Amino acid sequence: MVVPTQDLPPRVRIYEVGARDGLQNENSAVPTEVKAEFIHRLAQAGLTTIEATSFVHPEWVPQLADAEQLFPLLADVEAKLPVLVPNARGLDRALALGARSVAVFVSATESFAKANLNRTMGEALAVTEPVVARAREQKVHVRGYLSMCFGDPWEGPVPIAQVVRTAKSLLDMGCEELSLGDTIGVATPGHVLALLAELNEEGVPTDRIGVHFHDTYGQALSNTLAALQHGVSTVDASAGGLGGCPYAKSATGNLATEDLVWMLDGLGIETGVDLGRLTATSAWMAEQLGRPSPSRTVRALTGTSHQEQ
Protein backbone atom coordinates (compact mmCIF):
# COMPACT_ATOMS: atom_id res chain seq x y z
CA MET A 1 0.00 0.00 0.00
CA VAL A 2 1.26 3.47 -0.82
CA VAL A 3 1.15 5.76 2.17
CA PRO A 4 3.14 8.96 1.63
CA THR A 5 4.59 10.91 4.50
CA GLN A 6 5.45 14.57 4.69
CA ASP A 7 8.70 16.33 3.94
CA LEU A 8 10.28 13.77 1.68
CA PRO A 9 11.57 14.40 -1.85
CA PRO A 10 8.93 13.51 -4.49
CA ARG A 11 11.52 11.75 -6.62
CA VAL A 12 14.75 9.90 -5.83
CA ARG A 13 17.54 9.18 -8.27
CA ILE A 14 18.90 5.71 -7.61
CA TYR A 15 22.60 5.49 -8.42
CA GLU A 16 22.98 1.79 -9.23
CA VAL A 17 26.36 0.36 -8.19
CA GLY A 18 25.81 -3.40 -8.57
CA ALA A 19 27.81 -3.84 -11.76
CA ARG A 20 30.85 -2.12 -10.24
CA ASP A 21 30.83 -1.96 -6.42
CA GLY A 22 28.81 -5.18 -6.32
CA LEU A 23 30.74 -7.34 -8.76
CA GLN A 24 34.16 -6.12 -7.62
CA ASN A 25 33.36 -7.57 -4.20
CA GLU A 26 32.02 -10.90 -5.44
CA ASN A 27 34.32 -13.91 -5.44
CA SER A 28 33.15 -15.27 -8.77
CA ALA A 29 34.45 -13.83 -12.01
CA VAL A 30 31.50 -12.96 -14.23
CA PRO A 31 31.86 -13.27 -18.03
CA THR A 32 31.85 -9.96 -19.90
CA GLU A 33 28.71 -10.87 -21.87
CA VAL A 34 26.84 -11.58 -18.63
CA LYS A 35 27.87 -8.18 -17.24
CA ALA A 36 26.67 -6.51 -20.43
CA GLU A 37 23.31 -8.28 -20.25
CA PHE A 38 23.02 -7.40 -16.56
CA ILE A 39 23.51 -3.69 -17.30
CA HIS A 40 21.06 -3.80 -20.21
CA ARG A 41 18.48 -5.42 -17.96
CA LEU A 42 19.05 -2.88 -15.20
CA ALA A 43 18.43 -0.08 -17.69
CA GLN A 44 15.29 -1.83 -18.97
CA ALA A 45 14.06 -2.02 -15.36
CA GLY A 46 14.17 1.79 -15.31
CA LEU A 47 17.48 2.62 -13.66
CA THR A 48 18.88 5.80 -15.18
CA THR A 49 22.35 5.89 -13.63
CA ILE A 50 24.29 2.63 -13.66
CA GLU A 51 27.95 2.61 -12.66
CA ALA A 52 29.30 0.22 -15.25
CA THR A 53 32.86 -0.72 -14.32
CA SER A 54 36.16 0.48 -12.98
CA PHE A 55 39.39 1.51 -14.66
CA VAL A 56 41.59 0.63 -11.74
CA HIS A 57 44.63 -1.51 -12.49
CA PRO A 58 43.43 -5.01 -13.46
CA GLU A 59 45.76 -6.55 -10.88
CA TRP A 60 43.99 -4.69 -8.06
CA VAL A 61 40.51 -5.66 -9.13
CA PRO A 62 40.65 -8.69 -11.43
CA GLN A 63 36.83 -8.99 -11.36
CA LEU A 64 36.64 -5.78 -13.46
CA ALA A 65 39.72 -6.33 -15.63
CA ASP A 66 37.50 -6.49 -18.74
CA ALA A 67 36.46 -2.81 -18.71
CA GLU A 68 37.84 -2.25 -22.23
CA GLN A 69 35.83 -5.18 -23.58
CA LEU A 70 32.65 -4.40 -21.62
CA PHE A 71 32.22 -0.70 -22.24
CA PRO A 72 31.75 -0.95 -26.05
CA LEU A 73 29.01 -3.57 -25.49
CA LEU A 74 26.97 -0.89 -23.70
CA ALA A 75 26.83 1.65 -26.52
CA ASP A 76 23.05 1.25 -26.91
CA VAL A 77 22.23 1.58 -23.20
CA GLU A 78 20.20 4.73 -22.60
CA ALA A 79 21.13 5.14 -18.92
CA LYS A 80 24.09 7.22 -17.82
CA LEU A 81 27.05 4.88 -17.34
CA PRO A 82 29.62 6.39 -14.99
CA VAL A 83 32.89 4.51 -14.49
CA LEU A 84 35.34 4.56 -11.60
CA VAL A 85 38.79 6.03 -12.30
CA PRO A 86 41.56 5.92 -9.66
CA ASN A 87 44.20 8.05 -11.38
CA ALA A 88 45.30 9.76 -14.62
CA ARG A 89 45.90 6.43 -16.36
CA GLY A 90 42.42 5.22 -15.48
CA LEU A 91 40.93 8.45 -16.78
CA ASP A 92 42.88 8.08 -20.04
CA ARG A 93 41.44 4.59 -20.51
CA ALA A 94 37.91 5.77 -19.75
CA LEU A 95 38.12 8.79 -22.06
CA ALA A 96 39.56 6.66 -24.86
CA LEU A 97 36.36 4.58 -24.74
CA GLY A 98 34.13 7.64 -24.74
CA ALA A 99 33.03 7.66 -21.08
CA ARG A 100 31.07 10.83 -20.30
CA SER A 101 30.77 10.42 -16.55
CA VAL A 102 33.44 9.29 -14.09
CA ALA A 103 33.84 8.82 -10.38
CA VAL A 104 36.95 9.35 -8.29
CA PHE A 105 37.43 8.10 -4.74
CA VAL A 106 39.24 9.15 -1.58
CA SER A 107 39.03 8.11 2.05
CA ALA A 108 37.92 10.27 4.96
CA THR A 109 40.48 8.49 7.17
CA GLU A 110 44.25 8.06 7.04
CA SER A 111 44.07 4.35 7.91
CA PHE A 112 41.82 3.42 5.00
CA ALA A 113 43.73 5.67 2.57
CA LYS A 114 46.83 3.71 3.57
CA ALA A 115 45.14 0.29 3.44
CA ASN A 116 43.22 0.85 0.20
CA LEU A 117 45.67 2.90 -1.84
CA ASN A 118 48.88 2.97 0.18
CA ARG A 119 48.72 6.76 0.24
CA THR A 120 48.16 9.44 2.85
CA MET A 121 44.89 11.36 2.56
CA GLY A 122 46.89 14.34 1.31
CA GLU A 123 48.61 12.26 -1.35
CA ALA A 124 45.28 10.77 -2.43
CA LEU A 125 43.78 14.23 -2.87
CA ALA A 126 46.89 15.40 -4.75
CA VAL A 127 46.60 12.46 -7.19
CA THR A 128 42.87 13.02 -7.61
CA GLU A 129 42.90 16.78 -8.25
CA PRO A 130 44.45 16.73 -11.77
CA VAL A 131 42.18 13.80 -12.72
CA VAL A 132 39.10 15.83 -11.81
CA ALA A 133 40.47 18.94 -13.54
CA ARG A 134 41.14 17.05 -16.76
CA ALA A 135 37.75 15.33 -16.73
CA ARG A 136 36.01 18.67 -16.25
CA GLU A 137 38.03 20.21 -19.10
CA GLN A 138 36.60 17.43 -21.27
CA LYS A 139 33.10 18.29 -19.99
CA VAL A 140 32.89 14.90 -18.30
CA HIS A 141 30.69 14.69 -15.20
CA VAL A 142 32.64 13.90 -12.03
CA ARG A 143 31.36 12.28 -8.84
CA GLY A 144 33.56 12.07 -5.76
CA TYR A 145 33.26 9.04 -3.51
CA LEU A 146 34.24 9.60 0.07
CA SER A 147 34.67 6.36 2.01
CA MET A 148 34.67 5.75 5.78
CA CYS A 149 32.46 8.78 6.48
CA PHE A 150 31.11 7.38 9.75
CA GLY A 151 33.39 4.72 11.15
CA ASP A 152 36.73 3.18 10.26
CA PRO A 153 37.82 -0.35 11.20
CA TRP A 154 41.15 0.86 12.59
CA GLU A 155 40.23 4.32 13.90
CA GLY A 156 36.67 3.85 15.18
CA PRO A 157 34.18 6.71 14.85
CA VAL A 158 35.32 9.33 12.34
CA PRO A 159 35.17 12.98 13.46
CA ILE A 160 32.51 14.88 11.50
CA ALA A 161 34.82 17.87 10.96
CA GLN A 162 37.37 15.58 9.25
CA VAL A 163 34.71 14.21 6.89
CA VAL A 164 33.43 17.70 6.07
CA ARG A 165 36.96 18.97 5.37
CA THR A 166 37.65 16.11 2.93
CA ALA A 167 34.22 16.45 1.30
CA LYS A 168 34.90 20.13 0.69
CA SER A 169 38.28 19.31 -0.86
CA LEU A 170 36.52 17.07 -3.38
CA LEU A 171 34.01 19.79 -4.28
CA ASP A 172 36.70 22.49 -4.39
CA MET A 173 38.72 20.49 -6.92
CA GLY A 174 35.65 20.29 -9.19
CA CYS A 175 33.59 17.23 -8.27
CA GLU A 176 29.97 17.96 -9.13
CA GLU A 177 28.48 15.53 -6.66
CA LEU A 178 29.58 13.66 -3.56
CA SER A 179 28.75 10.17 -2.41
CA LEU A 180 29.10 9.77 1.34
CA GLY A 181 30.08 6.18 1.99
CA ASP A 182 29.39 4.24 5.17
CA THR A 183 31.91 1.66 4.06
CA ILE A 184 31.65 -0.60 7.12
CA GLY A 185 27.95 0.03 7.71
CA VAL A 186 28.19 1.39 11.25
CA ALA A 187 26.22 4.64 10.80
CA THR A 188 22.95 5.27 12.60
CA PRO A 189 20.35 7.90 11.64
CA GLY A 190 21.35 10.57 14.15
CA HIS A 191 24.95 10.41 12.95
CA VAL A 192 23.76 10.75 9.34
CA LEU A 193 21.68 13.84 10.18
CA ALA A 194 24.55 15.38 12.15
CA LEU A 195 26.96 14.97 9.23
CA LEU A 196 24.46 16.36 6.70
CA ALA A 197 23.73 19.37 8.94
CA GLU A 198 27.43 20.11 9.35
CA LEU A 199 28.03 19.83 5.59
CA ASN A 200 25.23 22.36 5.00
CA GLU A 201 26.64 24.58 7.75
CA GLU A 202 29.99 24.58 5.94
CA GLY A 203 28.40 25.56 2.65
CA VAL A 204 27.81 22.19 0.95
CA PRO A 205 24.29 22.17 -0.54
CA THR A 206 22.17 19.05 -0.04
CA ASP A 207 21.51 18.70 -3.77
CA ARG A 208 25.16 17.84 -4.33
CA ILE A 209 25.14 15.04 -1.79
CA GLY A 210 24.39 11.36 -2.42
CA VAL A 211 24.44 8.67 0.25
CA HIS A 212 25.99 5.20 0.06
CA PHE A 213 24.94 3.00 2.94
CA HIS A 214 25.89 -0.56 3.76
CA ASP A 215 23.54 -2.86 5.60
CA THR A 216 26.19 -4.61 7.69
CA TYR A 217 24.37 -3.73 10.94
CA GLY A 218 20.88 -3.58 9.41
CA GLN A 219 20.85 0.23 9.36
CA ALA A 220 20.97 1.04 5.65
CA LEU A 221 17.27 1.81 5.13
CA SER A 222 16.93 3.69 8.42
CA ASN A 223 19.90 5.81 7.45
CA THR A 224 18.47 6.34 3.98
CA LEU A 225 15.14 7.51 5.38
CA ALA A 226 16.94 9.97 7.66
CA ALA A 227 18.88 11.32 4.68
CA LEU A 228 15.66 11.66 2.63
CA GLN A 229 14.04 13.55 5.49
CA HIS A 230 17.00 15.93 5.34
CA GLY A 231 16.34 16.45 1.62
CA VAL A 232 18.88 14.12 0.02
CA SER A 233 17.51 12.71 -3.24
CA THR A 234 20.40 10.63 -4.63
CA VAL A 235 20.79 7.18 -3.08
CA ASP A 236 23.35 4.52 -4.04
CA ALA A 237 22.23 0.91 -4.06
CA SER A 238 23.31 -2.43 -5.50
CA ALA A 239 20.86 -4.63 -7.43
CA GLY A 240 20.17 -7.83 -5.52
CA GLY A 241 22.52 -6.64 -2.75
CA LEU A 242 25.51 -7.65 -4.89
CA GLY A 243 28.78 -7.28 -3.05
CA GLY A 244 27.00 -8.11 0.16
CA CYS A 245 26.96 -11.85 -0.04
CA PRO A 246 26.20 -13.14 3.47
CA TYR A 247 28.11 -16.36 2.70
CA ALA A 248 31.32 -14.56 1.80
CA LYS A 249 33.86 -13.69 4.43
CA SER A 250 34.39 -10.21 3.03
CA ALA A 251 30.68 -9.31 3.07
CA THR A 252 30.42 -5.58 2.53
CA GLY A 253 26.64 -5.36 2.75
CA ASN A 254 25.68 -2.94 0.00
CA LEU A 255 22.10 -1.73 0.37
CA ALA A 256 20.03 -3.81 -2.08
CA THR A 257 18.29 -1.73 -4.74
CA GLU A 258 15.11 -3.83 -4.41
CA ASP A 259 14.93 -3.17 -0.65
CA LEU A 260 15.30 0.54 -1.36
CA VAL A 261 12.68 0.53 -4.12
CA TRP A 262 10.23 -1.37 -1.88
CA MET A 263 10.49 1.42 0.71
CA LEU A 264 10.36 4.26 -1.83
CA ASP A 265 7.37 2.69 -3.63
CA GLY A 266 5.57 2.43 -0.29
CA LEU A 267 6.27 6.08 0.41
CA GLY A 268 4.93 7.09 -3.00
CA ILE A 269 8.37 8.41 -4.02
CA GLU A 270 9.00 8.20 -7.74
CA THR A 271 12.09 6.32 -8.96
CA GLY A 272 11.12 5.20 -12.45
CA VAL A 273 12.13 1.65 -11.49
CA ASP A 274 9.89 -1.36 -12.16
CA LEU A 275 10.41 -3.53 -9.08
CA GLY A 276 9.23 -6.71 -10.82
CA ARG A 277 11.69 -6.35 -13.69
CA LEU A 278 14.49 -5.40 -11.32
CA THR A 279 13.81 -8.39 -9.07
CA ALA A 280 13.75 -10.73 -12.07
CA THR A 281 17.11 -9.31 -13.14
CA SER A 282 18.65 -9.90 -9.72
CA ALA A 283 17.22 -13.41 -9.53
CA TRP A 284 18.79 -14.10 -12.92
CA MET A 285 22.12 -12.63 -11.77
CA ALA A 286 22.03 -14.74 -8.59
CA GLU A 287 21.70 -17.80 -10.83
CA GLN A 288 24.76 -16.69 -12.79
CA LEU A 289 26.67 -16.37 -9.51
CA GLY A 290 25.33 -19.69 -8.27
CA ARG A 291 23.91 -18.48 -4.98
CA PRO A 292 20.77 -16.74 -3.67
CA SER A 293 20.51 -12.97 -3.60
CA PRO A 294 21.09 -11.45 -0.15
CA SER A 295 18.30 -8.92 -0.83
CA ARG A 296 15.33 -9.62 1.45
CA THR A 297 12.95 -8.13 -1.10
CA VAL A 298 14.32 -10.32 -3.89
CA ARG A 299 13.94 -13.38 -1.67
CA ALA A 300 10.43 -12.44 -0.56
CA LEU A 301 9.19 -11.69 -4.07
CA THR A 302 10.79 -14.68 -5.76
CA GLY A 303 9.78 -16.98 -2.90
CA THR A 304 6.12 -16.29 -3.65
CA SER A 305 6.70 -17.47 -7.23
CA HIS A 306 4.47 -14.69 -8.57
CA GLN A 307 7.48 -13.09 -10.23
CA GLU A 308 8.92 -14.21 -13.52
CA GLN A 309 12.38 -15.63 -12.87
CB distance 184 to 145 below 8 Å? no
DSSP assignment of 207-250 equals GGEEEE-B-TTS-HHHHHHHHHHHT--EEEEBGGGTT--TTSTT
Check residue 254 for interaction with Mg ion (CB under 5 A): yes
CA dist 220 and 182 (Å) reads 9
Residue 150's alpha-carbon distances to 12, 109, 157, 307, in angstroms, are: 23, 10, 6, 37
Asked if 281 is part of the footprint of Mg ion (rule: CB under 5 A), the reply reads no
66 binds Mg ion (CB under 5 A): no
What phi and psi values does residue 129 have, to the nearest 5 degrees?
-55, -50
**Residue number, 43 or 251, with CB nearest to Mg ion:** 251
Q: Which of 21, 26, 182, 258 is in the footprint of Mg ion by CB under 5 A?
A: 21
Please, what is the minimum distance in Å from the beta carbon of residue 180 to Mg ion? 11
Shortest Å, Cβ 244 to Mg ion: 8
Q: Which CB sits closer to Mg ion, 90 or 241?
A: 241
Give the count of residues interacting with Mg ion (CB under 5 A). 2
Q: Does 147 contact Mg ion by CB under 5 A?
A: no
| Partner residues linked to 177 by β-bridges | 143
Write down the least CB distance from residue 46 to Mg ion, Å: 21
Catalytic site includes residue 149: no
* CB closer to Mg ion out of 8 and 214: 214
Which lies closer to Mg ion via its Cβ, residue 234 or residue 254? 254
Q: How many residues does the chain have?
A: 309
Residue 199: CB minimum distance to Mg ion, A: 20
Q: Which of 160, 245, 255, 289 is catalytic?
A: 245
Instruction: Report the alpha-carbon distance of residue 170 to residue 185 in Å, rounded.
Output: 22
Q: Provide the 10 A C-beta neighbour count for residue 197.
A: 13
Residues 197-226, interacting with Mg ion (CB under 5 A): none
**In the bound complex, what is the minimum distance in angstroms from residue 129's beta carbon to Mg ion?**
24
- Angle in degrees, CA 276, 280, 284, rounded to 5: 170
Nearer to Mg ion by Cβ, of 21 and 259: the residue is 21
Report the catalytic residues: 245
List contacts with Mg ion (CB under 5 A).
Answer: 21, 254
